[in-house]
Amino acid sequence: MLLKNKKILISGLANKYSIAAGIANSMHREGAELAFTYQNERLLRNLKPIAENCNSKILLECDVSNDQSIETAFVELGKIWPNFDGFVHSIGFAPADQLEGNFVDVTTREGFKIAHDISSYSFTAMAKAAKPMLNDGSALLTLTYLGSIKTVPNYNVMGLAKASLEANTRFLAASMGKDNVRVNAISAGPIKTLAASGVKNFKKMLSEHSKIAPLGRTVTTEEVGNVASFLCSDYASGITGEITYVDAGFNIAAMPLNAYEE
Ligand code: NAD
Ligand code: 0WE
């Protein structure tokens, strides 16, 4: 029971395929008490049964594009949990037109702004709101992707936003270390979630991943969830500001596994 006596808030659970759902299931199994935020009422229907499964009755609306919504969510959480032990930020978004086509041609000022606002600034904003309520030994966690450090076709401005999110992880870690709050990120391999379902050629991306990754496959939300549990547990008390890859080894490989065949 890695997370016994820990209270953790989870954001970004849109449905059972969400990475946040894999994280919630793992953290529940490891004994954590959980609370959830959701973007809007439309997503509450999918969240409810999963939260119930995790014995959680704390469901709060939080649209991270809106300061007031963040403020209200944390004030409401504080009425139920005056103190807690961290949160998971599993939120990313860019307008769909930014994620298809040639980077220099499709990227706009507005698309850039939204991608960075929702995908990176929101992590800082949530940390700021949570800070007065965080217990000693708390852990914050976000989800990033390899597109932050290597180009990936069509990932485009999201790659820039993830680079910002990773720097955000380091600056938050440096900023909150004196309060014994740790801040880390998981860089997950591609997984077919709601956010991925709108992406052109995603199936092809998954098969290409399996040809290059040392483990010869993609990863599951359960595997990401288990690493999330570890990073938010006291077993990871010496780890902060770190990007942990959960990608079946894809990021360390320079060539496909079958490069020298035939
Ligand atoms: P998902 O669609 O299940 O989750 C994305 C979540 O972002 C949704 O719950 C959505 O409600 C939330 N969101 C978007 N805009 C928001 C806003 N304004 N306010 C509040 N919430 C908002 O997809 P996912 O793949 O589970 O994505 C979770 C995280 O994992 C994202 O940061 C994503 O970039 C990252 N990630 C995904 C993959 C992948 O291949 N699926 C790989 C690496 C990293
Ligand atoms: O971070 C992500 C998902 C990012 C994402 C996806 C969408 C689709 C629907 C952000 N915003 C939106 N906006 C929408 O309207 N991933 C790591 C998954 C992902 O998305 C890609 C990928 C991968 C991998 C997009 C293009 C290329 C590769």
- 29-42 pLDDT tens trace: 999 999 999 999 99
> Is ligand 2 within 6 A of the CB of residue 93?
yes
Residue 134 has what pLDDT?
98
198 falls in which pLDDT band (50, 70, 90)?
Answer: confident
Which residue has the least CA distance to atom 25 on ligand 2?
Answer: 155
pLDDT of residue 163: 99
Rounded Cα–Cα distance for residues 30 and 17 (Å): 20
Whole-number pLDDT of residue 222: 98
Query: Which residues make Cβ contacts (< 8 Å) with residue 85, sequence separation at least 6?
Result: 6, 7, 8, 134, 135, 137, 138, 139, 232
CATH of domain 7-248: 3.40.50.720
Q: Is the pTM of this model over 0.85?
A: yes
- Separation of 140 CA from ligand 2 center, angstroms? 22
**Domain spans, the chain:** 7-248
User: In a mutational test of the pocket of ligand 2, which residue from 97, 114, 199 has the highest number of ligand atoms less than 8 Å from its CB?
Assistant: 199
pLDDT tens figures, 168-188: 999 999 999 999 999 999 999
- pLDDT at residue 150 tops 80: yes
Mean pLDDT of 61-81: 98
Q: How many CA atoms lie within 13 A of 124 on its CB side?
A: 16
